Structure 1
């Protein structure tokens, strides 16, 4: 990736997180990145394409970070599942947290036919599938059911933290997740 392309992508990421996607125009992105529209469109064929790449990168970065944290802190599948919300809480309470891209984007692009909404929905499904695979590895009988419950807790708590930092939502989501995970492990 060229450094100018990277700069545009990073600038767009920062602006989308802090100002919103629809509130951030191409003019603002190029002004803050110190480039031109022509250069932006050389690297990204449209604003929509740029949004999709920002979402992809954010999702991949989060998934890689979370997987690395889980894999480097424990090898036992049930412990990975139990530590999941501990690490998510660490992420949500970090100063760099500005919300979850797919949650924000789905709210700004509610039309299910829109590629941004479709990608957001797919990323939500992928995260739920990730939790389901952790649950399956831990021999949870209803891995998909537990994954749906935990992803609802995750998405709700992240939304609450996006709306008001320090809301305590993640702390309570972590407690609820522990009850659900402990119950599923015992079943």
Structure 2
């Protein structure tokens, strides 16, 4: 008696895997630039396909919907954000106050740069207020994590009320993101570092240090 057996599907070749990864990366690279500089709603799938030089099916194999592509764009921006953050604070080990001030300086420089187009998380949230899209979960997780990291450094610095300082710093940082996008280097975003130092000093009950931004 013969026994029939269902064969396992053939594993894709290394070349095919490389081609798929390459197409996905091209799509995500192009989408990230277009979404950031032009806005998510303004950029259609056909524009991304043309700019990436891929077939429509390649895009939908990598990202089943535009919503998934937007979420992937924000996840990439999230990783890039934390890489910058960690590089900045690593220069001041065991000195949480210096880490906070270095972050304020770094964010100030970024928000007044010519290439700055705002916070990608706030920009996307503004385009899709109150949504339940995959991107919304990424945005909320990112902003909550920022608050948690600020609170941890405030606590390490010996602040009496770490949560209040974290909330205050996040508020002025998000305000600088918006001002930097709208008004550039000549706007109030340039005051972020000095404003943050005043808040830190007040929370510690001492005199603010000189701004180095």
CA deviations over 1:29-63 (Å, ceiling 9, x no partner):
01011112110111111110110010011011012
Tell me the residue number matched to 2:185. 166
Q: Whose radius of gyration is greater, 1 or 2?
A: 2
Q: Is the 8 A contact 1:81 1:138 kept in 2?
A: no
Q: 1:98 aligns with which of 117, 139, 145?
A: 117
Q: 2:138 aligns with which of 119, 122, 142?
A: 119
* Alignment partners' CA distance in 2, 1:6 and 1:72: 31
Tell me the residue number matched to 2:52. 33
CA deviations over 1:60-114 (Å, ceiling 9, x no partner):
1012112112212454111111222101112223444322111001001102433
* Alignment partners' CA distance in 2, 1:97 and 1:11: 17
Deviating above 6 A after TM superposition, structure 1's stretches of 4 or more consecutive aligned residues are: none
| TM-score, reference length from structure 1 | 0.92
* Alignment partners' CA distance in 1, 2:31 and 2:127: 15
* Alignment partners' CA distance in 1, 2:155 and 2:56: 47
* Matched length: 187
Higher helix share: 1
Tell me the residue number matched to 1:10. 29
5+ long unaligned stretches in structure 2? 1-17, 207-213
Are 1:86 and 2:102 counterparts? no
* Alignment partners' CA distance in 2, 1:139 and 1:73: 16
Q: 1:150 aligns with which of 169, 173, 183?
A: 169
